[in-house]
Amino acid sequence: MIENEVAVLDYGSQYSQLIVRRVRELGFASHLYPPSELARLEKPGAVILSGGPRSTSEVDAPDVDFEKLMSLGVPVLGVCYGMQLLNIKHGGSVRPGVTREYGPARLVVRQAARLFEGISHESRIWMSHSDTVADLPEGTEVIATNEDAVPVALRFGESCWGIQFHPEVTHSHEGKEILNNFLTRSGATLAPFDIQAFKARMLDEIRDQVGSREVVCGVSGGVDSTVLAVLLHRAGVQVRCIYIDTGLMRKGETAEVVEQFAEVGVPIEVVDASEAFLSALKGVTDPEAKRRIIGDLFVDQFWGVAADVQLLAQGTLYPDVIESASSGSIASKIKTHHNRVDRILELQRQGKVLEPLAELFKDEVRALGESLGIPHRALWRHPFPGPGLAVRVPGEITPERLETTREADAIFIHELRRTGWYDRVWQAYAALLPVKTVGVKGDERSYEAAVSLRAVISEDAMTADWVELPPDLLRSVSNKILNSVNGVNRVLYDISTKPPASIEWE
């Protein structure tokens, strides 16, 4: 761990990662740890106990080494489950609530000192809990309640607080300010999080770890692999970047990726494997079968040209590390998605896998990319799925159906860029539906394909909402597709949220 960082103990909340992210956004170093690792933490600057789905009344409820926690002598904040746990450890009790509180509520500040300094007397917050504190420990102060006068914020001592709501989510209107008060007004000595300092440290560590060995790096043109490749190149190590063209790319994508890497001065090797992929996918319509074929063949193609790997670089990000750690080893996680990773697993066992971005979130990777001089259009390029257009062409993959999809997609993306909407959308694309519809072209009836447009906003792809694009923009896109893309006579706009729908079609 980094000395004086903010240690966040993970009790299973869906928002645990978000606490770390918010702390870093406020300028302080932070990492997520399982509660069992508290004993190994030597010099944190502060500790935050996250929320969680369990009840403190359960026999095997997640616990905390309270003696160790208090011996650290640093400010402590309990969030939701963390507050209930601290209340019990200080000598209070928790009881089941009459009803589960989930969603918006009103925070009523009773005592503004430190934690709520500068916060509105009444503020909107976000709740997610079923239990609530009952008996309060002796000397505990209620510093805020909800509109029904139920305690939602407690002060247990000079530098120990508990809050029943989630300050890390945007639904809590002044949540970030409350977190900032805890970090800056609690007397904590905290290590700063600075992307420039991170870059300098990573460049030194890469040089030390790599030495004179060659690093092989798979690149796609996406933000993670681009930043990874440029970081390795700037470190001055010998790096070999390999790009596999599966034939499932967007219009002009391979040429665009080559140009993008040339602009930042990083040479890449392009492997045209389109014929192999299209041949393997012929006649296949099952979505999972398509993904499996693409995944297996991609690995075969990659290792076919990267025969003698001394070091393999991967663009693993911090959320991937956290998810793997909380659900088992990274090896078992990979195996559930792919059955041909023996080579990677062996390299991991040999300590030959390099993951320089493993401490960063996506927005931090973009900030690192900016500091490396990577162009904006590369850093804010819309996400593109690993299986490529295969997940946007439900049904059989054929060259003709791929070409139709590429043309429609290119028109949609061009219009988004032209009107300034591209950077306001997290992801957008055109999909070709596996149906034909009746239409009229000229004086004759047509029986042709339907295209579905999709544009969503999201932070992490776990949830997504559709974007209310201007009707004039949608009209322009539809007209251009219908007038210039052969074989299409209908254009639809997808207004499904995730959940229940997914972002991609397959």
Just list the catalytic residues. Answer: 80, 166, 168
The sign of the torsion formed by the CA atoms of 352, 356, 359, 363 equals negative
d(CA 410, CA 428): 11
The residues with which 255 forms a beta bridge, in sequence order, are none
User: SS3 of 383, please?
Assistant: coil
The residues with which 154 forms a beta bridge, in sequence order, are 142, 162
List the one residue out of 249, 235, 252 whose CA is nearest residue 277: 249
Q: Which residue has the tokens 């600075």?
A: 194
List the one residue out of 178, 188, 258, 185 whose CA is nearest residue 3: 188
Q: Which helix (H) or strand (E) segment is 114 a member of?
A: none
- Strand spans (E) along 3-50: 6-9, 30-33, 46-49
Give whole-number Cα distances, 343 to 106, 299, 340, in Å. Answer: 54, 10, 8
What are 465's two structure tokens? 């909402």
Question: Residue 122's CB: how many other CB atoms inside 10 A?
Answer: 11
Q: Which helix (H) or strand (E) segment is 342 a member of?
A: helix 342-349
What are 9's two structure tokens? 């103990």
Burial of 446 (0-12, 13-18, 19+ CB in 10 A): middle
Which string of DSSP letters, residue by residue, matches 406-423? HHHHHHHHHHHHHTT-GG
Cβ–Cβ under 8 Å, residues 235 and 210? yes
Cβ–Cβ under 8 Å, residues 19 and 168? yes
